[in-house]
Amino acid sequence: MAETRAANRRVLVGIGGSVAAFKACEVVTELRRRDVEVRVAMTAAATRFVTPTLLRALSGHRVAADMWEGASIETEHGMSHLDLAAWCRLQCIVAASADLIARLALGLGDDAVTATALACRAPMLIAPAMEAAMWEHPATQANCATLVTRGVRILGPVRGRLASGHEDAGRMVEPDVIVAAVEESLGVDAG
């Protein structure tokens, strides 16, 4: 019974290349504090904002930041994105840029986050983070609508102070909102 419960508390946190990527550290830390097992995948752009080394320390596991890294490491499938896809029970993509959302909507799999998403059958939460003009662009809205029709849950964004200094829509929801959505999706008691 405990093993089944633990198996259902496995979350893949995917991190996109938005300045809000630093908030992924708090998401990972808080999920682990709540006894959720966390693994991390990052886009190359995300590594410009936070390092795989930091996320490895916070998650306690190797971070998938390079599509080809797993090919030289002993893993079940020889490729980390396939192992992560088989392992996780929920995908939670934070700091999702307009570019990452577009690639997910189009079914592209050219990095650790999108390739894992394509191989994964687990539900997905996405927390977008971008400037207002990018969020409001018809292409971004159409891409989000496409993802929603596939069962993806979009968390925000909200109105607030953006990286540009402007107050507008596009700010990523706060980590506690993301953690609460993960708990709800997993059926984990708040605590």
Domains annotated on the chain, with CATH: 2-186 (3.40.50.1950)
Rounded Cα distance between 34 and 189, Å, is 9
Q: What span, in angstroms and rounded, lies between the C-alpha atoms of 48 and 26? A: 17
Is the pLDDT confidence value at 7 over 90? no
Q: Which residues fall within 8 angstroms of residue 158, CB to CB, at 6 or more apart? A: 169, 171, 172, 173
Report the pLDDT value the prediction gives residue 66, as an integer from 0 to 100. 83
Confidence of residue 77 (pLDDT cuts 50, 70, 90): very low
The confidence band for 72, taking pLDDT boundaries of 50, 70 and 90, is very low
Confidence of residue 80 (pLDDT cuts 50, 70, 90): confident
- 108-124 pLDDT per residue, tens: 999 999 999 999 999 99
Structure token pair of residue 167: 């107050």
d(CA 171, CA 157): 5
> Measuring CA to CA, how many Å separate 95 from each of 33, 50, 155, 156?
21, 11, 11, 11
Which tens digit of pLDDT belongs to each residue from 23-59? Answer: 999 999 999 999 999 999 999 999 999 999 999 999 9
pLDDT in tens, 125-151: 999 999 999 999 999 999 999 999 999
Over residues 79-99, mean pLDDT: 92
pLDDT score recorded for residue 108 = 97
Q: In the predicted model, what is the mean pLDDT of the chain? A: 91
Q: What is the pLDDT of residue 67?
A: 74
SS3 string, the chain, reads: CHHHHHHCCEEEEEECCCHHHHHHHHHHHHHHHCCCEEEEEECCCHHHCCCHHHHHHHHCCCEECCCCHHHHCCCCCCCHHHHHHHHCCEEEEEEECHHHHHHHHHCCCCCHHHHHHHHCCCCEEEEECCCHHHHHCHHHHHHHHHHHHCCCEECCCEEEECCCCCEEEEECCCHHHHHHHHHHHHCCCCC
Do the beta carbons of residue 55 and residue 22 sit within 8 Å?
Answer: no
Q: How far apart are CA 61 and CA 56, in angstroms?
A: 5
